[in-house]
């Protein structure tokens, strides 16, 4: 089974060939790509909120910075 990153890259590859695709396919690919990005952001933020102080220090973030990022909605960048 493909991972999220592999699927995202495949969708990105498809968008580079989008001139050859019908409009409905372009729209479907665009929506699927956006949903995958949102899913990845959500998963990353959930994981970030569960990190220990030591793990946060390892990645160079304070608890405050982690909380700010983790509290963002899935569609926010």
- pLDDT, one tens digit per residue, over 17-52 is 667 889 999 899 999 999 999 999 999 999 999 999
Residue 17 has phi, psi (to 5 degrees) of: -100, 20
Q: Give the pLDDT confidence score for residue 35 in this predicted structure.
A: 94
For residue 33, the tally of other CB atoms under 10 A from its CB is: 17
Question: How many Å apart are CA 66 and CA 27, to the nearest integer?
Answer: 34
- Residue 55 DSSP class: H
8 A C-beta contact, residue 74 and residue 42: yes
The pLDDT score that the predictor gives to residue 4 is: 57
Domain boundaries, the chain: 4-70
Please state the pTM of the whole predicted model: 0.65
Inform me whether the pLDDT recorded for 6 exceeds 50. yes
């Amino acid at each position: 089974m493909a991972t999220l990153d592999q699927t995202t890259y495949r969708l990105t590859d498809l968008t580079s060939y989008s001139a050859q695709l019908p409009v409905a396919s372009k729209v479907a690919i665009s929506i699927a790509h956006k949903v995958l990005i949102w899913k990845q952001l959500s998963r990353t933020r959930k994981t970030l909120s569960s990190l220990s102080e030591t793990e946060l220090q390892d990645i160079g973030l304070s608890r405050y910075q982690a909380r700010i990022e983790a509290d963002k909605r899935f569609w926010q960048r």
